[in-house]
Amino acid sequence: MGSRTSSLLQAEEIEQIQKETGFSKRQIVRLYSRFTSLDKSDNGCLSREDLLRIPELAINPLGDRIIHAFFMDNPESKINFRQFMSTLSLFRPIKSHDKDIENPCNSRDNKLKFAFRMYDLDNSGMVTREELLVILQMMVGSNITEEQLGSIADRTIAEADEDNSGAISYENFVKALQRADVEQMMSIRFLN
Amino acid sequence: MRVTMATSRQHPFRVTSLFLPVLAILLVSQLVLTATANENTTSPVITHEAVDDTHGDNSSDEHEGGDAEPHRGHGGVHVASWNLKYVQLPLTVTFFALFVGVAKIGFHHADFLSAIFPESVLLIVLGVVFGGIAYATKQTGSFDSQTFFLYLLPPIILEAAYSLHDRTFADNLASILIYAVVGTLLNTFLIGLTLYGISLTGAYGNSFTVGLIECLIFSSLISAVDPVAVLAIFQEIHVNQVLYFLVFGESLLNDAVTVVLYNMMNSFLSLETIPASQIVLGFVSFFTVSLGGAVIGFLVGILTAFLTKFTKHVRVVEPLAILGMAYLSYLLAELFHFSGIISIICCGLAQAEYAFDNISRKSSTTVTYFTKMLSTTTESIIFLLLGQTLWAEKHQWNTGFVLCTLLFIFVYRVFGVVVITFVVNKFRIGKINKEEQFIMSYGGLRGAVAFSLVATLLPEDVPARNVFVTTTLVVILVTVFVQGTTIKPLVKLFRIKRSGQEDPTVALAIHQTVIDYVMAGIEEVIGHKGHNYVRMWIEKMNTHYIKKYLQRNPTSWEDEVMKTFEKVTNHDHHNHIFKLSRGEECRKNSETEIEKFKPMLTRGDSYFDSIRRRHTFKKTPGGEYMAISDKATPADVAGIMKKNPRNALHEKYDKNLLNDDCQDLPLLMRQRSTEHVLAQERITAMRAANKWRRAVRSSKSGGNVPATIAEENERKGDREQGEEDIVFLEDEGKSKEPIVKIEPEIIGNDDADTNV
């Protein structure tokens, strides 16, 4: 499988992706085979539908938003392999040589930005109470009342919101997660 | 509290006075021990070697014995009589436990000791003293392996198991298992073979030779890191969670390897030649011992959850069900020669996951407190007994063997950790760095488990037993004393990431879950089902299938968030009431003053809390005690808290159950009201001072403002007294009383002023 897909992938392209994302060559080849297997229409691009077809992602409460995040910078709702890889590169574990590079794609900041996007659906830079409520509702079952959920949302905003804007800005969000080990939490081991 | 402070200043030797009760109890319990020894029975804690000798004493005890049982012997009513025989066993145990308790109180107040030495070290020293007295009175107590494994160890492991119910542990389980299994195997064979190799060269002297199997028996028991010793030390140094669970988890889970290797080598002793089939059987028995223990533990844990599903109207049996079942799992596993430690860990984990949500809050508090009390006590008893055994065992010293063992356990520990970490790091996202590897190697303490195993060896089977016993004791003492004492400075030196006391926030709970879902989603996108995916899957199974049958009201993620939410809001609620009642009276004119007092009123350790501890007093070079300035900034307060050895020791693990006060609402209210009064007095005083200063400024025409307040005091006549108190408030350095007494007239004035 690997050899067939790698033949489709140009050597220069691999090198370029390698430079951009920091993935190793074998990782890129492996992910490319995944990319092509997801790409049912075989046109070198992934659409939302392609990703929605992944069965587990369909039942993930945040599945829609994760897919949405892939197409964030892309109005035509199509992403090619390079765009796909640049999103995935956020989740590469931080290695020692990453520190030499100026603003690596898998920095803590980028990881947090991705997480923030999960809340901030309209991309306004602020998470309002309504947006927070929506995401809470997605995650909880029926055991919890609307009212309780509302108070939890209020509390979350109150904890984070230092500038009294009634919403969580990205800076507030970063501060709320200050103590959390985001670098580790938001990293995946990519197979070679 | 103020009394303590005053005495602390007047009697710098308070510590000695605190030790007096300790000594008193020590002597009393020693007396009882002596008495019980004369009575010729073995207690569960102390066994007496000279059983045969004391048999003959029975006749001489006739007189006492007759007195002891008046109802059976000669007639007549006894107003009071000596009935030691009847109570001696529980009496000995009770005295011993109480003695341990008093000793702990003593250490707690002897900050200069507990700041340097871990408690386990102090207990061993105390044990040595204790044993010395026993030795001098010709009573030798010894360490009984059966008592250790059946009564002293289970509470500690159970308590540890409850603390393992933690996400960090689950996330690192794979690494921990590799360290526990591979690391222990590696160490056992390397140490055993090396010691045997050196024995062949004759380096231990001509008179002493050991066989290969003997060496392997010894290495199997000496190479395992000891959970009790590790727990005792690592609780106190509070390193980051990952490192803590790596070392501590390893020490717990290596038990199966130790048990199997030890039993295997013991059975090899009786064989002339060792057939390969035996080695294969040994390998198989590793799986039965570990997995058998795990399965028994898990099943009993599940059964507990099922049992507690029906205790809604019989709350009183809940703690019994939990604790009884946990002990049952240990005993059942031991019944089949499986690993009781692994069994009780699995049982505890299953209970924490399923059963704890079924029982009432009070029941779970009871379980937590009881296990904590029991484990702390038995842990202390273990160290005390270890110290005592120094006198009891028949020792045979062999310098070469002791030194080689000491050297190689350390060398191979480092070697094992480095090699395994190299492998494990390839699969980990959060790598274990060099400093952490060093602490992992250095934290490989040996303890009572090793000693109980070596003590059960029979001199007929193992001729070198006495050398092994001595060497094991030396190894334990060296690791606990040297490594245990120096590990804390080393952790600081290497700047190992510490765990802070983190208040849970609702936001964090939510963000964490969102991130978990995101990561599981991304793993699905890349088509590689990693640990995020597995976690999600397990959680789903847990919620949808298992919890449904085991829990009365199946809990899920939202309950977790609700719990955090309740906790946080409760906390806020308390703070809010406090602030409100304080704020209402002085809101009008003292917003700035509230700012000044903020450090005292912040969450957690309020300033007044710390004033009442004598640790806010510094000892000046001149020898007098000086209070730390009143104008403490939050950073100062934090610094004080850190410097206070007592807090440094008990911060993380809360072994002494200090921070659980908030469970006790009435106590909290009382505490708050006293704080409130203190704060109130202080604010009034400050206000008076400010007002007075303004008045002085305006009365003096322009530039003639007095340079110091002291000068002003001299000039002022009538209100002198009040001002002096205010001066003290500004500069508490020389004050004797932290509480300000204010002249009523000033307060009156002030109130009048605020009303205007």
DSSP per position, A46-85: EEHHHHHTSHHHHHSTTHHHHHHHHTTT-TTSEEEHHHHH
pLDDT value at A171 more than 70: yes
pLDDT of residue B405: 93
Angstrom distance (rounded) from CA B449 to CA B456: 11
Q: Are B360 and B131 in contact (CB under 8 A)?
A: no
pLDDT value at B629 more than 80: no
Angstrom distance (rounded) from CA B615 to CA A94: 43
Confidence of residue B132 (pLDDT cuts 50, 70, 90): confident
Question: Which residue type does B447 have?
Answer: G
Give ∠ CA B137-B142-B148 in degrees, rounded to 5.
145
- For chain B, the average pLDDT equals 74
Angstrom distance (rounded) from CA B529 to CA B536: 11
Angstrom distance (rounded) from CA A171 to CA A174: 5
> For residue B674, what are the contacts with CB-CB under 8 A and spacing of at least 6?
B608
pLDDT value at B604 more than 70: no
pLDDT value at B257 more than 60: yes
Out of A104-118, B256-270, B472-486, B498-512, give the one with best mean pLDDT.
Answer: B472-486
> For residue A80, what are the contacts with CB-CB under 8 A and spacing of at least 6?
A44, A45, A46
Nearest to B22 by CA among B141, B137, B130: B130
pLDDT value at B198 more than 80: yes
Q: Are B524 and A136 in contact (CB < 8 Å)?
A: no
Confidence of residue B625 (pLDDT cuts 50, 70, 90): low
Percent of chain B, pLDDT > 70? 67
Q: Are B278 and B271 in contact (CB under 8 A)?
A: yes
pLDDT digits (tens, 9 = 90+) for B453-470: 998 888 888 888 889 999
Interface of B with A (CB under 8 A): 427, 429-430, 500, 502, 505-508, 510-515, 517-528, 530, 532-533, 556-559, 561-562, 565, 568-569
pLDDT of residue B141: 59
Q: What are phi and psi of B444, to 5 degrees?
A: -80, 75
Q: Are A62 and B517 in contact (CB < 8 Å)?
A: yes
pLDDT value at B727 more than 70: no
Please give the average per-residue pLDDT across B551-578, as a whole number: 73
Q: Are A156 and B568 in contact (CB < 8 Å)?
A: no
Angstrom distance (rounded) from CA B718 to CA B705: 19
pLDDT value at B602 more than 60: no
Tell me the H-state helices in B142-211. 145-147, 153-164, 167-171, 173-178, 184-201
* DSSP 8-state class, residue A89: G
Q: Which residues of B touch A185 (CB under 8 A)?
A: 512, 515, 519
Q: Which residues of B touch A66 (CB under 8 A)?
A: 517-518, 521-522, 525
CA B620 to chain centroid, in Å, comes to 32
Angstrom distance (rounded) from CA B58 to CA B403: 45
pLDDT value at A113 more than 70: yes
Out of B182-186, B537-541, B687-691, B737-741, give the one with best mean pLDDT.
Answer: B182-186
pLDDT digits (tens, 9 = 90+) for B134-149: 788 876 556 788 889 9
Four-point Cα dihedral B610, B613, B616, B621, nearest 10: 180
- Between B705 and A131, the higher pLDDT residue: A131
pLDDT of residue B408: 94
* DSSP 8-state class, residue B181: I
Which chain A residue's Cα is nearest to B427? Answer: A189
Out of A125-139, B43-57, B466-480, give the one with best mean pLDDT.
Answer: B466-480
Angstrom distance (rounded) from CA B207 to CA B720: 86
Confidence of residue B157 (pLDDT cuts 50, 70, 90): very high
Please give the average per-residue pLDDT across B110-124, as a whole number: 84
Compute the nearest-CA separation of B169 from chain A (Å).
15
pTM of the model: 0.73
| Pair of tokens at residue B235 | 């609780």
Please give the average per-residue pLDDT across A94-110, as a whole number: 72
**How big is the A-B interface in CB pairs under 8 Å?**
119
pLDDT digits (tens, 9 = 90+) for B30-63: 555 555 454 444 344 443 333 333 333 333 333 4
pLDDT digits (tens, 9 = 90+) for B661-696: 444 455 555 555 666 677 777 778 888 888 888 888
| B735 CB-side CA count, 13 A | 23
Please give the average per-residue pLDDT across B494-523, as a whole number: 79
Q: Are A148 and B562 in contact (CB < 8 Å)?
A: yes
| Pair of tokens at residue A90 | 């956020």
| Pair of tokens at residue A28 | 């890129």
Confidence of residue A179 (pLDDT cuts 50, 70, 90): confident
Four-point Cα dihedral B140, B144, B148, B151, nearest 10: -90
Q: Are B515 and A115 in contact (CB < 8 Å)?
A: yes
Task: Indicate the range of B13-17, B221-225, B424-428 predicted with least confidence.
Answer: B13-17
Confidence of residue B27 (pLDDT cuts 50, 70, 90): low
Q: Are B526 and A31 in contact (CB < 8 Å)?
A: yes
pLDDT of residue B344: 95
Q: Are A21 and A105 in contact (CB under 8 A)?
A: yes
pLDDT value at B532 more than 60: yes
pLDDT of residue B663: 46
To test the contact with chain A by mutation, choose from B526, B531, B539, B563 the residue with the greatest count of A C-beta atoms within 10 A, namely B526
Which chain A residue's Cα is nearest to B428? Answer: A189
B224 exposure class (CB count in 10 Å sphere: 0-12, 13-18, 19+): buried
Angstrom distance (rounded) from CA B421 to CA B415: 10
Percent of chain B, pLDDT > 90? 25
Question: Which of A115, A144, A188 is closest, CB to CB, to B514?
Answer: A115
pLDDT digits (tens, 9 = 90+) for B371-401: 999 998 998 888 888 888 888 777 888 888 9
Q: Are A115 and B530 in contact (CB < 8 Å)?
A: no
Question: Which of A63, A140, A185 is closest, CB to CB, to B515?
Answer: A185
Compute the nearest-CA separation of A101 from chain B (Å).
20
pLDDT of residue B579: 56
pLDDT of residue B355: 92
Out of A160-174, B132-146, B403-417, give the one with best mean pLDDT.
Answer: B403-417
To test the contact with chain B by mutation, choose from A52, A67, A139, A182 the residue with the greatest count of B C-beta atoms within 10 A, namely A139
Angstrom distance (rounded) from CA A162 to CA A175: 10
Annotate A10-32 with b (16+ C-beta within 10 A) or e (fewer). eeeebeebeeebbbeeebbbbbb
What number is the ipTM of this complex?
0.91
Q: Are B88 and B43 in contact (CB under 8 A)?
A: yes
